[in-house]
Structure 1
Amino acid sequence: MALKITVIGTGYLGATHAAAMAELGFEVLGLDVVPEKIETLQRGEVPMYEPGLRELLGKHVAGIEGSSGRLRFTTDFAEVAAFGDVHFLCVNTPQKHGEYACDMSYVDSALASLAPHLTGPALVVGKSTVPVGSADRLAAYLAEHAPAGDGAELAWNPEFLREGFAVEDTLHPDRLVVGVRSERAERLLREVYATPIEEGSPFVVTDFPTAELVKTAANSFLATKISFINAMAEVCEAAGGDVAKLAEAIGYDDRIGKKFLRAGIGFGGGCLPKDIRAFMARAGELGADQALTFLREIDSVNMRQRGRMVELTRQALGGGPFLGKRVAVLGATFKPDSDDVRDSPALNVAGQVHLQGAQVTVYDPKGMENARRLFPTLGYADSALEAVRGADVVLHLTEWREFRELDPEVLGEAAAARVILDGRNALDPALWRKAGWTYRAMGRPTA
Structure 2
Amino acid sequence: MALKITVIGTGYLGATHAAAMAELGFEVLGLDVVPEKIAMLERGETPMYEPGLEELLRRHVAGIEGSSGRLRFTLDWAEAAEFGDIHFVCVNTPQKHGEYACDMSYVDSAVDSLAPHLKRPALVVGKSTVPVGSADRLAARLAELAPAGERAELAWNPEFLREGFAVEDTLHPDRIVIGVRSERAEALLREVYAVPVGEGSPFVVTDFPTAELVKTSANSFLATKISFINAMAEVCEAADGDVAKLAEAIGYDDRIGRKFLRAGIGFGGGCLPKDIRAFMARAGELGADQALTFLREIDSINMRQRGRMVELAREALGGGPFLGKRVAVLGATFKPDSDDVRDSPALNVAGQIHLQGGQVTVYDPKGMDNAARLFPTLAYAPSALEAVRGADVVLHLTEWREFRELDPAVLGEVAASRILLDGRNALDADLWRKSGWTYRAMGRPTA
Specify if TM > 0.5: yes
Q: Secondary structure at the match of 1:351?
A: helix
Ranges in structure 1 where 5+ consecutive residues have no aligned partner: none
Distance 1:378 1:30 in 2: 37
Distance apart, 1:199 and its partner CA: 0.2
Distance 1:216 1:45 in 2: 31
Q: Secondary structure at the match of 2:191?
A: helix
Distance 2:224 2:290 in 1: 16
Q: Does 1:446 align with 2:427?
A: no
1:248-327 mapped onto 2 (5 Å cutoff): 248-327=248-327
Q: How many equivalent residue pairs?
A: 447
Distance 1:229 1:330 in 2: 23
1:368-414 CA deviation, whole Å, 9 max, x = no partner? 00000000000000000000000000000000000000000000001
1:183-237 CA deviation, whole Å, 9 max, x = no partner? 0000000000000000000000000000000000000000000000000000000
Partner residue, 1:120: 120
Distance 1:77 1:278 in 2: 29
Distance apart, 1:279 and its partner CA: 0.1
1:8-34 CA deviation, whole Å, 9 max, x = no partner? 000000000000000000000000000
1:32-51 mapped onto 2 (5 Å cutoff): 32-51=32-51
Partner residue, 1:130: 130
Q: Secondary structure at the match of 2:293?
A: helix
Partner residue, 1:63: 63
Distance apart, 1:129 and its partner CA: 0.1
Distance apart, 1:311 and its partner CA: 0.1
Q: Secondary structure at the match of 2:154?
A: strand
Distance apart, 1:298 and its partner CA: 0.1
1:63-92 CA deviation, whole Å, 9 max, x = no partner? 000000000000000000000000000000
Distance 2:394 2:145 in 1: 58
Counterpart residue type for residue 148 of structure 2: A
Counterpart residue type for residue 440 of structure 1: R
Counterpart residue type for residue 164 of structure 1: G
Distance apart, 1:239 and its partner CA: 0.5
Q: Percent identity?
A: 89
Q: Secondary structure at the match of 2:338?
A: coil
1:225-279 CA deviation, whole Å, 9 max, x = no partner? 0000000000000010000000000000000000000000000000000000000
Partner residue, 2:360: 360
Distance apart, 1:150 and its partner CA: 1.1
Q: Secondary structure at the match of 1:440?
A: strand
1:404-419 mapped onto 2 (5 Å cutoff): 404-419=404-419
Q: Does 1:188 align with 2:216?
A: no
1:199-218 mapped onto 2 (5 Å cutoff): 199-218=199-218
Distance apart, 1:140 and its partner CA: 0.4
Q: Does 1:109 align with 2:100?
A: no
Partner residue, 1:25: 25
Counterpart residue type for residue 350 of structure 1: A
Q: Secondary structure at the match of 1:329?
A: strand
Partner residue, 1:383: 383
Partner residue, 1:146: 146
1:150-198 CA deviation, whole Å, 9 max, x = no partner? 1100000000000000000000000000000000000000000000000
Partner residue, 1:82: 82
Partner residue, 1:236: 236
1:73-120 CA deviation, whole Å, 9 max, x = no partner? 000000000000000000000000000000000000000000000000
Q: Secondary structure at the match of 1:73?
A: strand
Distance 1:252 1:395 in 2: 30
Counterpart residue type for residue 336 of structure 1: P
Q: Secondary structure at the match of 1:327?
A: strand
Ranges in structure 2 where 5+ consecutive residues have no aligned partner: none
Distance 1:76 1:443 in 2: 54
Distance 2:70 2:111 in 1: 24
Partner residue, 1:198: 198
1:423-446 CA deviation, whole Å, 9 max, x = no partner? 000000000000000000000011
1:121-164 CA deviation, whole Å, 9 max, x = no partner? 00000000000000000000011110001110000000000000
Partner residue, 1:164: 164
Distance 1:321 1:5 in 2: 58
Distance 1:141 1:342 in 2: 32
Distance apart, 1:309 and its partner CA: 0.1
TM-score where L is the length of structure 2: 1.00
Q: Secondary structure at the match of 1:204?
A: strand
Distance 1:78 1:241 in 2: 63
TM-score where L is the length of structure 1: 1.00
Distance 1:233 1:66 in 2: 52
Partner residue, 2:99: 99
Counterpart residue type for residue 377 of structure 1: T
Distance 2:329 2:251 in 1: 30
